[in-house]
Chain A
Amino acid sequence: MSDAALSRPRVAFPPNWPARIGFIVLIAYVAYASTILDFTWDRFMRGLGQGANLLARMFPPDFAADKMALLYVGMTESLQIAIIATVVGVLLSLPLGLAAARNLAPRPLAWAARALIALFRSLHPVIVAILFVKSVGFGALAGILALIVASLGFLSKLVAESVEEMSMKPVEAVRATGSPFLSVVIMSVIPQVIARFIGFSAYQLDSNLRNSALVGIVGGGGIGSTLLTAFQRFDYDFVLTIVLAIIAIVMVGEVLSGWMRRMFQ
């Protein structure tokens, strides 16, 4: 070590120049993108003023009897949409997931199934709902179909992954007895993946419950349409009631699905 290096005081944590430059680039990007998107301080402050106004109109939440009846109708419909979509999605995702598992299905079938799953996964439920509203009309059915597609994308991918990770020994054992394919699936594949699958299904019920509030905004029925109507009528105190109800039901759903997962572990 040279004398110059020795005489310099030792620094416990030397400056990390790449990190600093990265941070500066990040700040520059934020400034650039903010100007592109036309964010101004003035606009922000005006919005905050508006926000105080809006909050004042939201409180207290509206619990009038006629509004509660509307809320009840919307919520039950959302719940029904979520339940039907989850059950149908769960039932359909087993065959689709099996078809996409490369250790069981023939190659061309597996690739076709994987492409289908990728398509389902990359389409946002709202976009799928718009397309279904056009083909089956306004109402709960469009919402159900959109959420089935979303559930299929998520669950089939996880089924395929679990099947690919499972042990092949039971499969070989059952095959050695000369069983047909369906027996192989029932006796050796399902027992290995069912516990994880139920966990995923519980999560999907949760997420369908959340998304069922969403598909209504584009005409898919349920609490989302109630919410959009309330917004369009500037009925902000009822909006707050609906949002609180959504938060409550999502929290209950999270507790229930956690409970369900523990039961089947």
Chain B
Amino acid sequence: MTTADVSAGRPRQWQRFSLPERIMRSAFYFVVVLAVIWSLRTIEIIPEFLYDAPQQTVDLFVRMWPIDWGWYPKVVHAALLETLHTATLGTILAVALAAPVALMVARNITRSIILNSVGRFILVATRSVHAMVWALFFVALFGPGALAGMLAIAVHSIGFTGKFLAEAIEEAKPGPIEALTAAGASPLAILIKGYWPQVKPAFLAIATFRWDINVRESAVLGLVGGGGLGMALDTALNNLYWDQVGLVLVVIFGIVIVAEIATAWIRSRII
């Protein structure tokens, strides 16, 4: 802006973003609007189902009440324990499976771009297939039950656990590693005494956080045959015993809250 512009009384024009930035942003908004219009115009919604939606919703809650507490000791308690064991065992197995992949992905440990990319692909592939889809697979392999649910939880968790574990390993300070290398330590000793103490807090945080998520996930895996509370929910839904459905939902809600409180407590204690 020259002094001539100012003296001519033209007001200063301030622009927060440069021209390319503005074009990109406008293009982005345009694409969003286009996507929404396309989705709304072509999605199939059957209006006949909507007329009685309010009655159906009220009916749903009326049928759930009063909740059938008598069903808890008969079926739901065992299912609850099964869900907790599934989530815990699944998390332990996931950590065991994710650790080598994380080592493969961490660039400061594996200095090979090909191996890094292979590891990264394993992480993305396990993560993008949902636990429930994995459960469908494992039910086809091992038959319905907690084994299929546990394996589904474990395989699906590899992506999440491995990704954060690899990041923690990459953030490790090189000082202790160099000291151990200088002392002539073997690669295994470097891993155990150099990396592990630095990664341990992050490792525990990741494991407990994943356990919390896995409790939620394993509660619904039974819907496709993965055992636990989901199986009880499926039975109740198929029998149209809505008061039992209500009971299972309350139990799932309770266990999710308890798991969240427990992980928050553990995290504040050890990390």
List A residues at the B interface (Cβ < 8 Å).
13, 26, 29-30, 33-34, 36-39, 43-44, 46-48, 50-51, 54, 76-77, 79-81, 83-84, 87, 122-124, 126-127, 130-131, 134-141, 144, 210-211, 213-214, 217-218, 221, 227-228, 231, 236, 243, 246-247, 250-251, 254, 260, 263-264
Contacts and interface: CB of A to CB of B under 8 A. Distances in A.
Contacts of A260: 28
A138 B46 CA distance: 9
Of listed A77, A127, A236, residue having the most chain B CB within 10 A: A127
B114 interface: no
Nearest to B24: A263
B25 interface: yes
A214 B39 contact: no
Given A13-B193, A126-B132, A141-B49, A33 B36 contact: no
A137 B193 contact: no
Interface stretch (B5-13, B97-105, B171-179, B249-257): B249-257
A227 B193 CA distance: 47
A124 B89 contact: no
Contact of B43 (A30, A77, A135, A231): A77
8 contacts: A26-B92, A33-B88, A47-B147, A83-B35, A141-B45, A214-B133, A221-B44, A254-B124
B271 interface: no
Contacts of A213: 130, 133
B60 A139 contact: no
B42 interface: yes
A127 B237 contact: no
Contacts of B249: 127
B188 interface: no
A106 B5 CA distance: 49
Nearest to B148: A47
Given A33-B88, A37-B89, A122-B216, 18 more contacts: A26-B92, A37-B145, A47-B147, A77-B44, A83-B39, A84-B40, A122-B260, A123-B253, A126-B223, A127-B233, A130-B233, A136-B53, A139-B46, A140-B43, A213-B130, A214-B132, A217-B133, A251-B124
A80 B132 contact: no
Contacts of B182: none
A134 B60 contact: yes
Contact of B49 (A50, A76, A136, A218): A136
A131 B45 contact: no
B253 A83 contact: no
B128 A246 contact: yes
Given A51-B141, A139-B45, A141-B50, A30 B92 contact: yes
A182 B216 CA distance: 38
B31 to A, nearest CB: 10
Nearest to B89: A33
A210 B129 CA distance: 8
Interface string B202-242: 00000000000000110110011001000001000100000
A89 to B, nearest CB: 12
Contact of A47 (B39, B125, B141): B141
B142 interface: yes
A231 B138 CA distance: 12
Nearest to A142: B49
A137 B141 CA distance: 32
Contacts of B145: 37-38
Given A127-B249, A217-B223, A54 B141 contact: yes
B166 interface: no
Report, nearest first, the 8 A-B pairs whose CB atoms are least far apart: A137-B49, A250-B128, A47-B142, A80-B39, A135-B57, A37-B146, A33-B85, A122-B256
B157 interface: no
Interface in B156-175: none
Contacts of B24: 263
Nearest to B142: A47
A149 to B, nearest CB: 14
A101 to B, nearest CB: 21
Contacts of A221: 44
Contacts of B40: 84
Contacts of A51: 141
B240 to A, nearest CB: 10
A184 to B, nearest CB: 21
Contacts of B125: 247
Contact of B141 (A36, A50, A217, A264): A50
Contacts of A87: 32, 36
B35 A124 contact: no
A217 B142 contact: no
A34 B257 CA distance: 25
Contact of B36 (A29, A43, A84, A122): A84
Of listed A46, A79, A130, A135, residue having the most chain B CB within 10 A: A135
